[in-house]
Every structure is written in structure tokens, then in C-alpha cells.
Amino acid sequence: MKAVVQRVSKASVTVEGELISSIGNGLLILLGIRNGDDEKDIEWLSRKIVNLRIFNDENGVMNKSLLENGGDAIVVSQFTLQASTKKGNRPSYIKAAKPDISIPLYEEFVKTIQKDLGKEVGTGVFGADMKVDLLNDGPVTIVIDTKNKE
């Protein structure tokens, strides 16, 4: 699994003009699921994200996690994070898991991060043409890949 984690002042997801999710201060998490990902990836990634110390403390130092900050989160599935651009100019998505694999893993990731965070999180609509609006705070953007844990 690969996640792009963005610290935001606000973020929202709209599908066909309908607001699906919105948050204030917190994290927008773009999640790309690849073939071979499993529950171990979900558990590790969720814990890593909710405990990332990327929010400012009282001294303006990035020293607080989403848990400590009390912020919210939106998780949006994004298969294009698994793109390979090694050959030519057209990305290959061969590493991205097909919907029959990725939908259950995405749904399980959402449940796990909700449990780890102790509150509901927003989501996108899997496979939909989503419009994601965000105000990146910092900007702070972190890329995490479960295949690079070491």
C-alpha cells in the first residue's frame, strides 16, 4: 500500500456535485492498493498515519500526531499511486490491485483507521470521478509505502 498523507486546514470530496465528505484541520489520505497487499499492511499503515508527528505543538514544532491534535481524516482510494513510469510516457497500472481485491482492503483500512483514531473518518466513493478540494497546511505532504518499512 502506498499513501500520500497531506496535512490540511480543510478538505472535501465531491461526486457529481454532491458533497460526500468534508473536514477541517486534519489529514487527507490518498490510498493506493497494490497486488499482494493484506491486513498486515493495513494495520501497520493505519498506526503509522495516526501517530505521525506532523502537527505543530505550542512551540510551532511538528511534534504532535493526529491522535494528539484531535483532527479529522478523509481517506480517498487512488489507484494511480501505483503507477509505473519506467517505460514510455503512458503510466502502467499493472501493480494496482483490481477492484475485487482493492475494495475490501480499502473498506478494511477505513475501519482500522477509524478504530485507531477513535472516531469516524470521511471517505470518497470508490471508482467514482471525485473532485478533491484541499487547503494543504504547511504544506506538509508525506509519502508512505508499506513495502519500504525498513
From 6, 14, 55, 78, active-site residue: 78
Active site residue 79: yes
Strands 26-32, 2-15: pairing is antiparallel
Instruction: Kindly calculate the radius of gyration of the chain based on its CA atoms and give it in whole angstroms.
Output: 15
Strands 72-77, 62-64: pairing is unpaired
Can you tell me which residue has the cell 468534508?
22
The answer for residues whose C-beta is within 8 angstroms of residue 76's C-beta and 6 or more apart is 13, 28, 29, 30, 31, 123, 124, 130, 132
From 79, 82, 109, 146, active-site residue: 79
Active site residue 80: yes
CA-wise closest residue to 147 among 36, 31, 27 = 36
Which positions are catalytic? 78-80
